[in-house]
Structure 1
Amino acid sequence: MNKRVLRIYFLISIVGLLAVYFFWPKYEKLPILETVSSFQLENVHGGTYSLNNEKIKLVTFFYTHCPDICPMTMMDLMKLQAQLQKEGIFGNKVELVAISLDPENDTPKVIKRYSEGFSADPLGWKWLRGSEGDTKEIANSLKMQYQKLEGDFFSHSTTMFLLDDENNIRALYDMAISDNPIDTTKILEDISILIEGY
C-alpha cells in the first residue's frame, strides 16, 4: 500500500471519527429514570399549581411538624434558592416544589408561615398541599414512602426528585440528615445539564 493510499485512508478515518463525534447522539449524562404523570395541587400562595408547566423542578416532600430532616433540608434549599436567583433561572426556568405530607394539619396558613421561616420566594418556590388521597397518589407515583405515626409525626423517605421540563425524573438526591447537608453543587450542575439540553 503506497503512501498516497495510506494518506487517503487516514483522512477518511479522521473524517469518520469527526462525523461520529458531532452527529452521534450526545451521551446522556442524566438518563430518564421514570416519567411522572401530571398533577394539580393547591398552591398555598394562591391558585392551583400544575406540574405541566415546562419547567425544571426539584420536588421534595415535607410536613411542618417534622423535627429535623425537613427543616434542615429547607435551610439548604434556601441557599439553593439564592444560587438559582443569582443564576437568573429561579422561577422562569427552575422551580423548587415542596409538597406537604400532612394536609390535615398543614393548612395554607400554617404552610405559608412555615415557608416564611426559610425566606421562600413564591415566585419559584412552590408550597403545595392536596387531599390525603391526592398526596398518597403523587407519592406513590414517585415511589416515595411515608406513614403517619402517633401524634403528628410521620416516617418518610428522604429522597428528592429532579424533574426535567417534560416531567421525567432525571436525578435523585438525599434530603439533609444531621451533619450531611444536601449537595447543592451537584444539584446545580445537574440543572445546568438539563438547561443546556443534554
Structure 2
Amino acid sequence: MNNMNEIGATEKRKNGSLPWKSLAVVFVVTLVISGVVIFFVLQSVLQLDANNQYNSVVLENNGGVRDITPPRDLQDFTLTSNSGEPMSLSDFQGKPLLFYFGYTHCPDVCPISLNDMMKVRELLGDQGDDVNYLFISVDGERDTPEILNNFFEMRSVEDVMVGMQGDDEVLARVGSDYGLYYELQEPDANGYYAVDHTANMYLLNPEGQLLSILAYGTEPDLIAERIQKLLDES
C-alpha cells in the first residue's frame, strides 16, 4: 500500500513538473527566435547605413572633385618662395587658392597638373586673375628658388604661378592636413632620382580653409566650375 502511494506521489510530481519543463523549452525557443530576428534587423539597419555612407562618398567625389563639408581649417606654414623670400600659406587669403605638391624634375604628373591648372585659369576668363595658383615642391634640396623660376619660365607661367621650396620638417608637420605623402627614390647611376608623391590638387576658399580635394586627372572644366561657384558666392 505504501509502495502504491509512493508511486502515485511520484507520478503526480512527474505530471506536475511537465508543464514547467514545457514552459522552459518554450521560453528558450522564444529567446532564440527573438535573437535571430533582432540579429537580422540589425544587419539590415547596418547594411542600409553602410549603403547610405557609400552613396554620400560617391556624391562627394563627383568626377574627382571631393568637397570638404564644412570647409576645414588648416595649419599655417612658411616656406621660401621662388622670389627667395619667406612666404606663408596665410599670405594667399583674400582669394581662392589652387595648388598642388610636386617637384620640378617630375617627368609627367607635375607638368600635366600645371598644364591643367592653366587650363582652369583660361576657362575662368577674366576671373582667372581672381585666383591664386601655387606649386609646393616636395624636393627642396633640388628645387631652389632659381630652379622653380626656371621651371615656370620654361612653361611661360612665371607671371601666374608662385612656387615654394619644400622643407621636410615643415611638410611633415602640416602634411596630415592634406593626406600628403612623398618619398625620394634611390638615385640612378647619373645621380637622378624620382620622387613618389601625392598628386591631388587642393582648393582653398578666400578664408584659407580647405574646400575641395581634386584627384589627379580631374577635368579642368569641373575644377573651373567649382571655382566659379566659389567666386560667385564670395
Normalised TM-score (structure 2): 0.62
1:138 and 1:115 map into 2 onto residues whose CA distance is 25
Note if 1:42 corresponds to 2:80: yes
Could you list the per-position Cα deviations for residues 42-86 of structure 1 after superposition, in whole angstroms to 9, with x for gaps in the alignment?
Answer: 2203533222222211120111121111112112223223334x3
Q: What's the offset of the Cα at 1:31?
A: 2.8
Note if 1:78 corresponds to 2:115: no
2:115 and 2:97 map into 1 onto residues whose CA distance is 18
2:99–2:134 Cα contact (<8 Å) kept: yes
Instruction: Provide the residue aligned with 1:150 in structure 2.
Output: 186
| Selected match of 1:126 from 162, 178, 182 | 162
2:100 and 2:114 map into 1 onto residues whose CA distance is 9
| Selected match of 2:143 from 73, 81, 106 | 106
Could you list the per-position Cα deviations for residues 81-140 of structure 1 after superposition, in whole angstroms to 9, with x for gaps in the alignment?
Answer: 3334x32341xx311111000000111111111111221143x42111142211332323
Instruction: Provide the residue aligned with 2:106 in structure 1.
Output: 66
Normalised TM-score (structure 1): 0.72
Q: Secondary structure at the match of 1:155?
A: strand
Superposed, which structure 2 residues align to 1:1-198 within 5 Å?
A: 31-52=69-90, 53-84=93-124, 86-90=125-129, 93-122=130-159, 124-151=160-187, 152-176=193-217, 182-197=218-233
**Which residue identity is paired with 2:150?**
R
Change (3 A) 1:166 1:81: same
**Which residue identity is paired with 1:69?**
V
Q: Which has the higher helix share?
A: 2
Q: What's the offset of the Cα at 1:150?
A: 0.9
2:171 and 2:165 map into 1 onto residues whose CA distance is 8
Unaligned regions of 5+ residues in structure 1, if any?
1-28, 177-181
Moved more, 62-71 or 48-57: 48-57
Change (3 A) 1:188 1:30: farther
2:99–2:201 Cα contact (<8 Å) kept: yes
Could you list the per-position Cα deviations for residues 144-187 of structure 1 after superposition, in whole angstroms to 9, with x for gaps in the alignment?
Answer: 111111122111122111110122211111224xxxxx411111
Q: Secondary structure at the match of 1:31?
A: strand
Q: Which has the higher contact order (CA 8 A, sep 6+)?
A: 1
Instruction: Provide the residue aligned with 2:36 in structure 1.
Output: none
2:99–2:203 Cα contact (<8 Å) kept: yes
Change (3 A) 1:191 1:126: same
Larger radius of gyration between Structure 1 and Structure 2: 2
